[in-house]
Amino acid sequence: MIITRFFSCKVWQLLIACIGLTGVCYAQPLSKAARDSLKKLTEEDYRQMLHTLHISSLRPGPSGNPQASNAANTNEAKATPYRDLPDALVLDNGKQVTTPAIWWKKRRPQIKEYFDREIYGRVPAYMPPVNWQVIAVTDTVQEGIPVITKKLIGHVDNSAYPAINVDIQLTLTTPANAKTPVPVMMEFGFIMPPGFSFPSSNTQPTWQQQVLAEGWGYAIIVPTSIQADNGAGLTQGIIGLVNKGQRRKPDDWGALRAWAWGASRALDYFETDTAVDAKRVGIEGVSRYGKAAIVTMAYDQRFAIAFIGSSGQGGTKLYRRVFGEQVENVASSSEYHWMAGNYIKYAGPLTPQDFPVDAHELIALCAPRPVFISAGSPQIEGNWVDAKGMFLGGAYAGKVYELLGKKGLGTMEFPLIETSLTGGEIAFRQHSGGHTTGPNWPYFIRFAERYFAD
């Protein structure tokens, strides 16, 4: 996904807001009455969760506006009041994890349980099946490459609760002349209204063109067709369907986990499509969809590789870093729906120091599979996503990769901008652009070639 500097502020925020509020695949203007209604329903759900958690007050999050009186900290000297990170290679009983077998049998399940209970929430034990249908097939030529594009709908069985309907929207594009099944990069994205397009780059092909030039395919899954991007929608979508329209419990899943579940169902389909090499499918996303992408990679070991763009707090950034966006922001009524209800506790009365896990352990759940962490420049993207915090998340995950016979970032020193750290299975690069993975796609593709090679 490429978003230029011009597009990365108010217009982008408006589009995300419209998409998230409507829960449909493209932005539509909402009336003031509709916006007010959604806000009211969100606040009602939020208050109910606070009541369930016995929370009477929360710490407010900082502002993303550098000129505000409560602006987020961007002073590195003040970024680390919480000194102790959980050790990914120490069991809950204090014993060291010294072998891959102990990691897989004991430590990894412990870490996953903490993320399930306190961070992203639990997927229900029983999930209804998804029936995939190809509703359209088109043959076109993209930049001189003949391609086949399939438009699919994944209908979730709602026979147990017909009041809620969930149809997952997915498109799959593969080279028409491929002789064998091809790798596919899947992006969390959306479909814009007819006639709309993002500003194009004069210096670089689109990520789709770059992928096709490698002989790979690409797919786009629409997260809001799985679960709406707001608290009002928590009694709708896949979460609402399985809960039969009732509100969540504190350890129930949030939107990030729901979007990841939807991506896994798309991978189920890819396993049946002879055009796709389902063992070489990667996941990519930016911003909130970057958070969804790392959650997807951590929870579904079938995904071969991940490209995580500017995921910030709740993604690959260390929770304990007081720099840019904070836990208090994600726990607010505008973002709490991404997470389990229990996450809110860490914005009051608990603090980030009380988390039983941190972001480096989420990345460690991806091991030994490759993860590329991307960020933009502070001058254009800003400091909200905390590029260094994301780098450190990757750096601290390295010891788990090393235990499993792979390589981490290879350094704890934050690199200069546009320095590619791609020698191990964890990669990091901060480009000089904005809130986008665009400038890093060529570097990611070179990185992925090692794993997608025939």
Tell me the mean pLDDT in the region 207-220: 98
Q: Which helix (H) or strand (E) holds 133?
A: strand 130-142
* Torsion on CA atoms 53, 337, 375, 197, rounded to nearest 10: -170
- pLDDT value at residue 29: 75
Mean pLDDT of the chain: 93
Residue 326 pLDDT > 80, yes or no?
Answer: yes
pLDDT band at 294 (very low <50, low <70, confident <90, very high): very high
Tell me the mean pLDDT in the region 435-444: 98
Residue 442 pLDDT > 80, yes or no?
Answer: yes
Break the chain into its structural domains and give their ranges.
10-64+75-128+168-452
Residue 11 pLDDT > 90, yes or no?
Answer: no
Q: Which fold has domain 10-64+75-128+168-452?
A: Rossmann fold (3.40.50)
Residue 350 pLDDT > 90, yes or no?
Answer: yes
Residue 154 CA to residue 226 CA, distance in Å, equals: 10
pLDDT band at 2 (very low <50, low <70, confident <90, very high): very low
Tell me the mean pLDDT in the region 40-68: 97
- pLDDT value at residue 380: 98
- pLDDT value at residue 199: 55
pLDDT band at 195 (very low <50, low <70, confident <90, very high): very low
Q: Is the peptide bond before 349 cis (omega within 30 degrees of 0)?
A: yes
Tell me the mean pLDDT in the region 411-417: 98
Cβ neighbours of residue 223 closer than 8 Å, sequence gap 6 or more = 188, 190, 229, 255, 259, 262, 289, 292
Long-range contacts of 333-336 (CB under 8 A, 24+ apart): 333/42, 333/43, 333/46, 333/231, 334/42, 336/46, 336/49, 336/231, 336/254
pLDDT band at 92 (very low <50, low <70, confident <90, very high): very high
Tell me the mean pLDDT in the region 165-179: 98
Residue 170 CA to residue 262 CA, distance in Å, equals: 10
Quick one: tokens of 416? 């200069």
Residue 10 pLDDT > 50, yes or no?
Answer: no
Quick one: tokens of 43? 């606040």
- pLDDT value at residue 190: 82
Q: Phi and psi for 161 in degrees, rounded to 5?
A: -155, 80
pLDDT band at 26 (very low <50, low <70, confident <90, very high): low
Q: Which of 62-76, 170-184, 199-213, 384-398 has the lowest mean pLDDT?
A: 199-213
- pLDDT value at residue 200: 53
Residue 83 pLDDT > 90, yes or no?
Answer: no
**Furthest-apart CA pair in the chain: how many Å?**
62
Tell me the mean pLDDT in the region 73-80: 97
Q: Is 181 left (phi over 0), alpha (psi -120 to 50) or beta?
A: beta
- pLDDT tens digits for 269-281? 999 999 999 999 9
pTM of the model: 0.94
Give how far Cα 229 sits from Cα of 92, 224, 314, 429, Å: 35, 6, 15, 28
Query: What percentage of the chain exceeds 90 in pLDDT?
Result: 89
Tell me the mean pLDDT in the region 225-234: 98
Query: What percentage of the chain exceeds 70 in pLDDT?
Result: 91
Residue that the structure tokens 């209908």 belong to: 155
